């Protein structure tokens, strides 16, 4: 029988964000921790961007940050006033390298590689079934970040945020490094809500990402066509090389996720930490990890950790309802939002941190009739 105090399933953003906070607290020095993943995390498989108005837990590995953001919607380019926020970028590879370097220095942490098949709880024993072996452990607290899409028959809205990004490079200086584009809706909307964001990481390199909020993904070549078209038409660049590429899919659903289920605590996307209306997840993972570690250190029940508020779940559902039924496109909604509100207020709202009064003032700037109709549909039993 293996003896662990904690078992973390998945060494992605959520598993590692939690583990790094455990390592940072002396409370866990004598606790045995097991980390399980099917992959060795040695690829730059994603780039996380998020806004933050203070120093963050992973600030030392932030690759780039911007104080100036632009938004292109229905009216001409708007410079966003994001103060006191900064828009930050962390590269997957820097995050993984940093975390695994720290883990290496901790004799109380073991790593096991293998495809997880199931976790079986018995009275005095937990069996973790990996593809090629079974681990028999004494009871432990399990955090699970392995996401399984839910059963489509649950009748919840299921959209996907899917995107392809190219890190492009020019021979001579071309990009204004301090100036990033948060959303550019000048691209056609034939597939549904579609936009591009542009994040210059130097004067010769920028990450250009074509993003959609729709029920289905596109053919791989369609993303490439749209990226090429955008770079030619809007960045006015015809000579560049592609240094790196990334592709991703993030679920956008109004399904309610459980924090505790079947003897495990769910974290990350699997624990509902994706903001359903935007796909942003990284900062919600940070908040959840901090809550978990604080509760463990204070010997408080994890069940007291606040789950996402019903109010924000309702707002997200209304927005998803509008997008899914195509009553209003993301271009119209986000254009109106950014035209009529300060970006810093919008960021606070999208972080689920506004007061009801602030939310009402923000919502009153949106398209009243479609939002009202979608709200009634969401409230319908």
Ligand X SMILES: Cc1cc2nc3c(=O)[nH]c(=O)nc-3n(C[C@H](O)[C@H](O)[C@H](O)COP(=O)(O)OP(=O)(O)OC[C@H]3O[C@@H](n4cnc5c(N)ncnc54)[C@H](O)[C@@H]3O)c2cc1C
| Site residues, ligand X (CB under 6 A) | 10-15, 37-39, 46-50, 115-116, 145-146, 246, 248, 250, 268-270, 280-282, 285
Residues 109, 33 contacting (CB under 8 angstroms): yes
CA distance 250 to 323: 16
| Residue 263 token pair | 């003897």
Shortest approach of ligand X to residue 262 CB, angstroms? 15
Cβ atoms of 69 and 86 within 8 Å: the answer is no
Nearest to 318 by CA among 357, 289, 359: 359
Rounded least distance, CB 369 to ligand X, Å: 31
Q: Which residue, 93 or 116, is less far from ligand X as judged by CB?
A: 116
Q: Which is nearer to ligand X, 203 or 246 (CB)?
A: 246
* C-beta of 69 vs 328, nearer to ligand X: 69
- Compute the least distance from the CB of residue 155 to ligand X, in Å: 24
Question: 288, 294, 283, 289: which is closest to 306 by C-alpha?
Answer: 288
What minimum distance in Å lies between the beta carbon of 99 and ligand X?
11
Count CB atoms within 10 A of the CB of residue 192.
16
Considering the complex, state which of residue 249 and residue 372 has its C-beta at the smaller distance from ligand X.
Answer: 249
- Minimal distance in Å, beta carbon 379 to ligand X? 28
Question: Are the C-beta atoms of 33 and 4 separated by less than 8 Å?
Answer: yes
Helix intervals (H) in the chain: 13-24, 92-104, 220-233, 282-297, 310-325, 330-340, 343-350, 356-363, 368-379
51 or 240, CB closer to ligand X?
51
Q: How far is the CB of 56 from ligand X (least distance, A)?
A: 12
Shortest approach of ligand X to residue 161 CB, angstroms? 8
Say how many C-beta atoms besides its own lie within 10 A of residue 212's C-beta.
25
For the chain, what's the residue count? 381
Residue pointed to by tokens 């969401």: 378
- The answer to whether the beta carbons of residues 292 and 280 sit under 8 Å apart is no
CB-wise, 103 or 270, nearer to ligand X? 270
350/366 with CB nearer ligand X: 350
Among 285, 211, 287, residue whose Cα is nearest residue 250: 211
Distance in angstroms (rounded) separating the CA atoms of residues 278 and 351: 10
Closest residue to ligand X: CB criterion: 12
The secondary structure of residue 18, as a DSSP letter, is: H
Count of other CB atoms within 10 angstroms of residue 32:
17
Q: Which is closer to ligand X, CB of 112 or CB of 204?
A: 112
> Residue 228 Cβ, how far from ligand X at the closest point, in Å?
20
């Amino acid at each position: 029988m293996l003896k662990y105090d904690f078992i973390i399933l998945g060494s992605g953003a959520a598993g590692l964000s939690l583990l790094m906070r455990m390592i940072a607290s002396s409370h866990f020095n004598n606790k045995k921790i097991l980390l399980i993943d099917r992959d060795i995390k040695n690829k730059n498989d994603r780039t996380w961007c998020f806004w933050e108005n203070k120093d963050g837990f992973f600030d030392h590995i932030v690759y780039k940050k911007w104080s100036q953001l632009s938004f292109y919607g229905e009216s001409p380019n708007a410079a966003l006033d994001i103060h006191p926020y900064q828009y930050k970028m962390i590269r997957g590879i820097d995050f993984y390298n940093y975390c695994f370097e720290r883990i290496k220095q901790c004799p109380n942490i073991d790593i096991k590689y293998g495809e997880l098949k199931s976790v079986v709880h018995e009275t005095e024993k937990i069996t973790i079934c990996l593809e090629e072996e079974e681990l028999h452990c004494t009871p432990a607290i399990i955090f699970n970040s392995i996401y399984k899409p839910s059963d489509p028959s649950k009748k919840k809205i299921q959209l996907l945020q899917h995107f392809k990004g190219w890190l492009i490079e020019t021979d001579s200086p071309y990009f204004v490094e301090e100036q990033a584009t948060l959303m550019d809706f000048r691209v056609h909307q034939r597939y549904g809500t579609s936009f591009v964001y542009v994040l210059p990481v130097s004067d010769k390199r920028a990450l250009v990402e074509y993003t959609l909020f729709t029920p289905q993904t596109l053919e791989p070549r369609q993303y490439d066509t749209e990226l090429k078209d955008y770079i030619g038409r809007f960045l006015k660049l015809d000579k560049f090389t592609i240094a790196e590429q990334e592709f991703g899919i993030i679920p956008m659903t109004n399904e309610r996720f459980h924090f505790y289920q079947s003897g495990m605590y769910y974290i990350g996307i699997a624990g509902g930490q994706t903001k359903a209306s935007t796909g942003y997840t990284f900062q919600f993972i940070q908040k959840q990890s901090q809550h978990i570690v604080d509760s463990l250190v204070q010997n408080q029940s994890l069940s007291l950790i606040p789950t996402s508020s019903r109010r924000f779940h309702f707002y997200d559902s209304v927005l998803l309802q509008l997008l899914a039924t195509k009553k209003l496109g993301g271009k119209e909604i986000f254009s109106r939002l950014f035209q009529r509100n300060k970006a810093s207020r919008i960021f606070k709202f999208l972080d689920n941190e506004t007061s009801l009064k602030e939310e009402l003032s923000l919502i009153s700037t949106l398209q009243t009739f479609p939002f009202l109709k979608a709200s009634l549909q969401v409230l319908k039993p």
